[in-house]
Amino acid sequence: MFINPEVPLESLPGADNLDWLPLHPRFVRRLQLGALLRVLVIGAIATVAYFLMKGGDSAALGRFADSLLPFALAGFGLFAASILIWPMIAVPRRGYVVREKDILYKTGVLWRSVKAVPFNRVQHTKIDSGLLDRRFGLANLSVFPAGAGGHKIRGLGTDTAERLRVYVSERIEAEAIEPEDDQNSPLPDPQAEASAAHENGPPADAG
Amino acid sequence: MVFFLGTTARKIVDGYGQVAATVGVTAFLVRNPEYAALVITIGSVALLTVAFLRYWCFRFRIDEDRILIREGFLRRTELDLPYERIQGVNIQRRLTERVLGLVTVVLDTPGSIAAEGQLPTVKPEVADRLLERVATHRHGLVAGGPPTVTDAPPESGERPPAAGDVQAAVTDRHSFRGQGRVLQTLTPADLVRMGLAHPRGLFLLVLLAFLGSRSDWVKDTTLKAFGVARSAVGGLGALETTLVATVLVLGCVVLSRAGGVAAAFRNYHRFTLWREGRSYRTRAGLMTEEEVVVKVRKIQMLRLYQNLVQRYFRRYRLETPTIGGSLEDDDYESEGLDADDLEVPWADDALVEEMRSGVFRGEGEQLALLPTDEAFKSVSPYYIRAAALRFLILGWLGGLLVLYVSTWISLVYIGSDALAPEDYIRLSRGLGFAALVWGGVCLVTALPIGWLRWRRHGYMHDDDGIVCRSGLIGYEVEACLFRKTQAVTVKQSPLQRRHGLATLDVETSTGSVTVPYIDHGVACRLRDYALYRAESSGRPWY
């Protein structure tokens, strides 16, 4: 029998005062290195474009390029400085919490968001790490619920990510809702399973 | 390795091979037109052969407990579908099939968006037999199954639909009238009204109303606009030109309305909505009659739309997105027909209420879907400021973009050398003036628009679900149950942080209910509550 006792709102576990776990300390360096590479590539392209305009036949184009140069330099400097410094501001404000029933992730400096995904809704998880991530010993953990956008927690230590993934997978198993759960039959009954299957399908495919 | 080589090669052939073959054949025909007859003959013979082979190789067998479908000549596929896995048997009739008295049976299975099994163009009796088999199979299961299945209280409700429903549907299949309770049928008059409300023509209708109220202005504008036409026709007086212009505008409006009505007829001719046990079923269509069956349990949320014309007729469009319908196609291999979402295009107040209580089934009793309901709480008035600001910034940015692109185009078109300095000045003055006017318009309309949006925004929740209303001219209402939540987000912009506000985003697998600018504490409590409901719910959400 399905029971659903009333729970007073005040006693609900709140997600306001949590100890947010920080990302890996090397993650800032990794983002800065990525930003530096991007700055170098964009700078190289801009330089090539400048010299192409300068060296072309049209004198007007050359003058145009010269007139553009201070703005371009200033803008580029600002851009480079901001994307180099930004990780130092943004990364400390990110964080995650793993609770028994869900996983929370917060991001954002100006526009902040806190997102929670219950484990019993997670369809699958993924770990990926790019070239730069591996160089710094980092990995990204993604958690996907059905349809909705899940978490992509970037900048975890490789072992942390792996442990988290294992934990999340365990929690998914533990929290998985059995189809026809509310009929308390601990013994697997093939016929009940069959009828459940034709109603609900295995949870793994139904996503 | 061989497998990947094969698939890669096939992808390339599929992508480019067809194009190449078509181009090649066309080129060959252009070069040697005398072979046209030969090519056409070969082509049609090949077509006929392939069609015949496919027909010949398509075999199916309806067994006691399963259906076997075998098809393919070169690449044979055999589908073995136990009745247990069949979720629904949908029936579609294309125009040719209706003329010939045949039907296409589409077998829905869980786990894939695309319907897996399809029996194209079979006799209705075959469909009946299949339905009967599936029904009796289920019946046997229910009867011989554990008593808990049949004894389950209705509110815990995820049991198989009563076999009686399916059987009743079987017996009545010939007359092609569904069973269950008919909730709505649409008459041609409804369809005409629906066509009028079709969004495509709405703009023109508004324009016409506006023009009608300013007849002097109409004359001037149309005279100017059709100055080119007048000079081409020549000799026509101002009166005639106005006449021509009016006829043109009227013609556009009538055409678009006719298009809307035609679309309504094509999609919703003889629209009928049933409630059958634990599912809803619709059937509609002029050429291709299509049946959609949606299980109540699969419905993730309810979406209600109302535009101006629909508001005039007091009707709504109601959508019931289900999990399969909205997933990205590339997540799964989708072949064949897509599982469709059920849609009620022309629902009145009573039907909306009926659908709400039917879909939420005892949960969310205090929720209301109708946008005029009193229970909607408004969001914080700071929303006006934010919405106005957003409109202003977007408007200005859009204006800048248009200005930039038009300048660029006109400079390229005229050629910068051909312009005298005074032309430049005149051009930049004109553009500057246009920019000023546009900026001013944005500035003046931003606040009213923000206010309108704020007035439309509202939300309510009870112990089981949450509803959010939004819109600018029309309404959009989205509702979901907390236990179907997939993720919950609380967002704060700098402005919201300063005033202790937040945006709550309750995501389901088919979209989210977003409540902007409510108190941060309320948002957090609602989030915790939604999480609690999702995490403690023992019932499957799909």
If asked whether residues B261 and B277 sit together in one domain, one would say no
Q: Do B534 and A115 touch (CB under 8 A)?
A: no
* Residue A72 falls inside a structural domain: yes
> Can you tell me whether residue B350 is helix, strand or coil?
helix
Q: Do A114 and B489 touch (CB under 8 A)?
A: yes
Q: Please give, rounded to a whole number of angstroms, the shortest distance from the CA of A195 to a CA of chain B.
A: 7
* Residue A63 falls inside a structural domain: yes
If asked whether residues B130 and B277 sit together in one domain, one would say yes
The whole-number pLDDT of residue B216 equals 58
Chain A residues whose CB is inside 8 A of the B494 CB are 110-111
The number of folded domains in chain B is: 3
- DSSP string over chain A: --------GGGSPPSSS--PBP--THHHHHHHHHHHHHHHHHHHHHHHHHHHHHHSS-HHHHHHHHHHHHHHHHHHHHHHHHHHHHHHHHGGG-EEEE-SSEEEEEE-SSSEEEEEEEGGGEEEEEEE--HHHHHTTEEEEEEEESSS--EEEEEEEHHHHHHHHHHHHHHHHHHPPPTTTTS---S--HHHHHHHHHHH--HHHH-
Residue with tokens 């005062």: A17
B contact test, residue of A101, A110, A113, A172 with most B CBs within 10 A: A113
Rounded-to-integer distance, Cα A14 and Cα B528, Å: 6
Residue A146: CATH number of its domain: 2.30.29.30
* Residue B139 falls inside a structural domain: yes
- Render each residue's pLDDT in chain B as its tens digit; 542 residues: 777 777 777 777 777 777 787 888 788 777 777 777 888 888 889 888 888 888 888 888 877 777 888 777 777 777 777 776 666 667 777 777 777 777 777 776 654 444 456 777 777 777 777 777 776 765 554 443 333 333 333 333 333 333 333 333 433 343 344 457 788 888 888 888 887 776 555 556 666 666 555 555 555 665 565 555 545 544 555 676 677 777 877 877 777 778 778 888 888 888 888 887 778 888 888 877 777 777 787 788 899 999 888 888 889 999 888 765 434 333 333 333 344 678 888 888 999 988 898 888 878 888 888 988 888 999 999 999 999 999 999 999 998 898 888 777 777 766 656 667 777 788 778 888 888 998 899 999 999 999 999 999 999 998 889 999 999 888 999 999 998 898 999 999 999 999 999 999 999 888 889 999 999 999 998 999 999 888 887 777 76
Lowest-pLDDT choice from A14-23, A70-79, B459-468:
A14-23
Whether A104 contacts A111, CB under 8 Å: no
The residue from A57, A91, A125 where one domain ends is: A91
If asked whether residues A131 and A174 sit together in one domain, one would say yes
If asked whether residues B254 and B135 sit together in one domain, one would say no
If asked whether residues A70 and A139 sit together in one domain, one would say no
The string of pLDDT tens digits covering residues B39-93 is 888 888 988 888 888 888 888 887 777 788 877 777 777 777 777 666 666 777 7
In the numeric block, which tokens belong to residue A77? Answer: 């400097």
Q: Please give, rounded to a whole number of angstroms, the shortest distance from the CA of A14 to a CA of chain B.
A: 6
If asked whether residues A83 and A104 sit together in one domain, one would say no
The residue from B415, B434, B455 where one domain ends is: B455
A207 pLDDT above the threshold of 60: no
If asked whether residues B170 and B285 sit together in one domain, one would say yes
- Residue A77 amino acid letter: G
The string of pLDDT tens digits covering residues B407-432 is 777 777 666 566 677 777 887 788 88
Rounded-to-integer distance, Cα B80 and Cα B103, Å: 21
- DSSP string over B186-230: --HHHHHHHHHT-HHHHHHHHHHHHHHH-HHHHHHHHHHHTHHHH
The residue from A91, A109, A142 where one domain ends is: A91
pTM beyond 0.90: the answer is no
Q: Do A12 and B528 touch (CB under 8 A)?
A: yes
The whole-number pLDDT of residue B132 equals 74
> Does the interface ipTM go beyond 0.85?
no
Q: Please give, rounded to a whole number of angstroms, the shortest distance from the CA of A37 to a CA of chain B.
A: 30
* Residue B150 falls inside a structural domain: yes
If asked whether residues A101 and A86 sit together in one domain, one would say no
Rounded-to-integer distance, Cα A80 and Cα A46, Å: 13
Full strand arrangement of the beta sheet holding B88-93:
B117-122, B103-108, B88-93, B289-295, B279-284, B272-276, B181-185
Backbone angle region of B126, left / alpha / beta, with phi > 0 → left and psi within -120 to 50 → alpha: alpha
If asked whether residues A81 and A105 sit together in one domain, one would say no
Q: Do A116 and B488 touch (CB under 8 A)?
A: yes
- Say which residue, B315 or A4, is predicted with more confidence: B315
Q: Please give, rounded to a whole number of angstroms, the shortest distance from the CA of A180 to a CA of chain B.
A: 7
Q: Do A201 and B326 touch (CB under 8 A)?
A: no
If asked whether residues A164 and A101 sit together in one domain, one would say yes
Backbone angle region of B535, left / alpha / beta, with phi > 0 → left and psi within -120 to 50 → alpha: alpha
Residue with tokens 């639909």: B161
Chain B residues whose CB is inside 8 A of the A9 CB are 525, 529
The residue from A91, A124, A142 where one domain ends is: A91
In the numeric block, which tokens belong to residue B359? Answer: 């879909």
If asked whether residues B66 and B77 sit together in one domain, one would say yes
In the numeric block, which tokens belong to residue A63? Answer: 């003058």
Q: Please give, rounded to a whole number of angstroms, the shortest distance from the CA of A44 to a CA of chain B.
A: 27
If asked whether residues A56 and A122 sit together in one domain, one would say no
Chain B residues whose CB is inside 8 A of the A203 CB are 540, 542
Chain A residues whose CB is inside 8 A of the B512 CB are 148
Strand ranges (E), B219-351: 272-276, 279-284, 289-295, 301-306, 316-320, 342-347
* Residue B142 falls inside a structural domain: yes
If asked whether residues B233 and B278 sit together in one domain, one would say no
If asked whether residues A46 and A106 sit together in one domain, one would say no
If asked whether residues B200 and B228 sit together in one domain, one would say yes
The residue from B455, B485, B516 where one domain ends is: B455
Full strand arrangement of the beta sheet holding A112-118:
A95-98, A102-107, A112-118, B487-492, B501-508, B511-519
If asked whether residues A106 and A169 sit together in one domain, one would say yes
The whole-number pLDDT of residue B153 equals 34
Which of B362-393 are b and which e, b meaning 16 or more Cβ less than 10 Å from the residue's Cβ? Answer: ebbeebbbbbeeeebeebbebbbbbbbeebbe
Whether A151 contacts A114, CB under 8 Å: no
Which one of A118, A180, A191 has the shortest CB-CB distance to B535? A118
Rounded-to-integer distance, Cα A175 and Cα A152, Å: 21
Q: Please give, rounded to a whole number of angstroms, the shortest distance from the CA of A202 to a CA of chain B.
A: 8
* Residue A112 falls inside a structural domain: yes
Q: Do B487 and A205 touch (CB under 8 A)?
A: no
* Residue B538 falls inside a structural domain: no
If asked whether residues A162 and A141 sit together in one domain, one would say yes
If asked whether residues A99 and A86 sit together in one domain, one would say no
CA distances from A70 to A56, A61, A74 (A): 20, 16, 6
The string of pLDDT tens digits covering residues A32-59 is 999 999 999 999 998 998 888 887 777 7
Q: A166 lies in which domain range? A: 95-178
Rounded-to-integer distance, Cα B481 and Cα B483, Å: 5
Chain A residues whose CB is inside 8 A of the B541 CB are 121, 177
- DSSP string over B445-461: HHHHHHHHHHHH-EEEE
* Residue A116 falls inside a structural domain: yes
Rounded-to-integer distance, Cα B493 and Cα B24, Å: 58
In the numeric block, which tokens belong to residue B358? Answer: 């039917």
* Residue B44 falls inside a structural domain: no
**Alpha helix stretches (DSSP H) within B364-420:** 382-414
What lies within 8 Å, CB to CB, of B246 at 6+ separation is B218, B222
What lies within 8 Å, CB to CB, of B412 at 6+ separation is none
Helix (H) or strand (E) holding B119: strand B117-122
Rounded-to-integer distance, Cα A15 and Cα A32, Å: 31
> Can you tell me whether residue B237 is helix, strand or coil?
coil
In the numeric block, which tokens belong to residue B305? Answer: 């739309």
Residue with tokens 């997933």: B327
Q: Do B146 and A7 touch (CB under 8 A)?
A: no
The whole-number pLDDT of residue B34 equals 78
* Residue A152 falls inside a structural domain: yes
* Residue B95 falls inside a structural domain: yes
> Can you tell me whether residue B520 is helix, strand or coil?
helix
Full strand arrangement of the beta sheet holding A138-145:
A122-128, A138-145, A151-157
Per this entry, what is the length of chain B? 542
Instruction: Centre a 10 Å sphere on the Cβ of residue B3 and count the other Cβ atoms it contains.
Output: 7
Which one of B83, B528, B534 has the shortest CB-CB distance to A13? B528
The whole-number pLDDT of residue A192 equals 39
Handedness of CA B441, B444, B450, B451 (dihedral sign): negative
- Say which residue, B127 or A14, is predicted with more confidence: B127
Choose from A93-102, A186-195, B27-36, B279-288 the range with maximum mean pLDDT: A93-102
Residue with tokens 């312009």: B419
Q: Which one, of B184, B429, B145, lies nearest residue B315 by Cα?
A: B184
Burial classification of residue A30, based on how many CB atoms lie within 10 Å of its CB (0-12 exposed, 13-18 middle, 19 or more buried): buried
- Residue B5 amino acid letter: L
- DSSP string over B27-59: HHHHH-GGGHHHHHHHHHHHHHHHHHHHHHH-E
The whole-number pLDDT of residue B110 equals 55
The whole-number pLDDT of residue B303 equals 92
If asked whether residues B252 and B289 sit together in one domain, one would say no
Handedness of CA A152, A162, A116, A142 (dihedral sign): positive
Number of A/B CB contacts below 8 angstroms equals: 179
Whether A103 contacts A121, CB under 8 Å: no
* Residue A148 falls inside a structural domain: yes
Which one of B149, B486, B497 has the shortest CB-CB distance to A147? B486
Nearest residue of chain B to residue A143 (CA atoms): B487
Q: Please give, rounded to a whole number of angstroms, the shortest distance from the CA of A2 to a CA of chain B.
A: 7
Which one of A112, A147, A201 has the shortest CB-CB distance to B110? A201
The whole-number pLDDT of residue B224 equals 61
- DSSP string over B59-97: EEEE-SSEEEEEE-SSS-EEEEEEGGG--EEEEEE-HHH
Maximum Cα–Cα distance across chain A = 87
If asked whether residues B104 and B134 sit together in one domain, one would say yes
If asked whether residues B182 and B200 sit together in one domain, one would say no
Q: Do B534 and A195 touch (CB under 8 A)?
A: no
* Residue B489 falls inside a structural domain: no
The whole-number pLDDT of residue B510 equals 82
- Residue B338 amino acid letter: D
If asked whether residues B223 and B288 sit together in one domain, one would say no
Instruction: Centre a 10 Å sphere on the Cβ of residue B347 and count the other Cβ atoms it contains.
Output: 23
If asked whether residues A172 and A99 sit together in one domain, one would say yes
Instruction: Centre a 10 Å sphere on the Cβ of residue B433 and count the other Cβ atoms it contains.
Output: 10
The number of folded domains in chain A is: 2
Which one of A149, A195, A207 has the shortest CB-CB distance to B149? A195
The whole-number pLDDT of residue B489 equals 94
* Residue B323 falls inside a structural domain: no
Chain B residues whose CB is inside 8 A of the A185 CB are 146, 148
Query: Euclidean distance between the first and final Cα of chain B, in Å?
Result: 38
* Residue A170 falls inside a structural domain: yes
Nearest residue of chain A to residue B528 (CA atoms): A14
Q: B78 lies in which domain range? A: 62-186+270-298
Q: Do A111 and B535 touch (CB under 8 A)?
A: no
CA distances from B413 to B290, B407, B419, B430 (A): 51, 10, 11, 17
Q: Please give, rounded to a whole number of angstroms, the shortest distance from the CA of B475 to a CA of chain A.
A: 24
If asked whether residues B148 and B283 sit together in one domain, one would say yes
Q: Do B493 and A147 touch (CB under 8 A)?
A: no
* Residue A186 falls inside a structural domain: no
Q: Which one, of B503, B502, B501, B515, lies nearest residue B465 by Cα?
A: B515
Chain A residues whose CB is inside 8 A of the B507 CB are 145, 147-149
